[in-house]
């Protein structure tokens, strides 16, 4: 069902999904919902997600960046993660958390691909 028909999704639900480790269409859908939640919920929600969720997003991005196969689906998934990170950073808490994670900048730099125009505008 669409998110509009659903109660507010808890940060823990996203964390559970990210921990599953599977990279499939369900994950892409989860990342899109996460981006919306990070954008539309109060900072307290972002803080609850960020305690564990930021590390999971960065772990997943790192796994995808270092993957030998770089097909369209993996690029799409990377882009969704970048959109989530961008939404996560849209407040003081999120920005400070990202800046305190040493690997976040090198990972973002590795995702920059001039052939992926929409990703370039988000990264």
Domain residue ranges of the chain, discontinuous segments joined by +: 11-110
Nearest alpha-carbon partner for 39 in 5, 12, 9, 18: 9
Is the CB of residue 18 less than 8 Å from the CB of residue 56? yes
pLDDT at 101: 92
- Count of CA atoms in the C-beta half-sphere (13 A) of 104: 21
pLDDT tens for the chain, residues 1 to 123: 444 445 689 999 999 999 998 889 999 999 999 999 999 999 999 999 999 999 999 999 999 999 888 788 999 999 999 999 999 999 999 999 999 999 999 998 888 776 766 666 676
Q: Put residue 21 in one of left, alpha, beta given phi > 0 → left and psi -120 to 50 → alpha.
A: left
Is the CB of residue 28 less than 8 Å from the CB of residue 76? yes
Selected from 3.30.497.10, 3.30.1330.10, 3.40.50.2300, 1.25.10.10, the CATH number assigned to the domain covering 11-110 reads 1.25.10.10
pLDDT at 120: 61
């Amino acid at each position: 069902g669409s998110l509009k028909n659903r109660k507010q999704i808890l940060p823990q639900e996203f964390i559970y999904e990210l921990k599953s480790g599977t990279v499939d269409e369900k994950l892409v859908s989860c990342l899109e919902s996460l981006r919306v939640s990070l954008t539309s919920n109060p900072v307290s929600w972002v803080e609850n997600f960020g305690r564990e969720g930021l590390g999971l997003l960065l772990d997943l991005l790192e796994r995808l960046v270092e993957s030998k196969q770089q097909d369209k689906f993996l690029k799409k998934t990377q882009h969704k993660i970048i959109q989530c990170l961008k939404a996560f950073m849209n407040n003081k808490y999120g920005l400070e958390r990202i800046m305190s994670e040493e690997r976040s900048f090198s990972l973002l730099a590795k995702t920059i691909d001039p052939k992926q125009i929409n990703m370039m505008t988000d990264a």
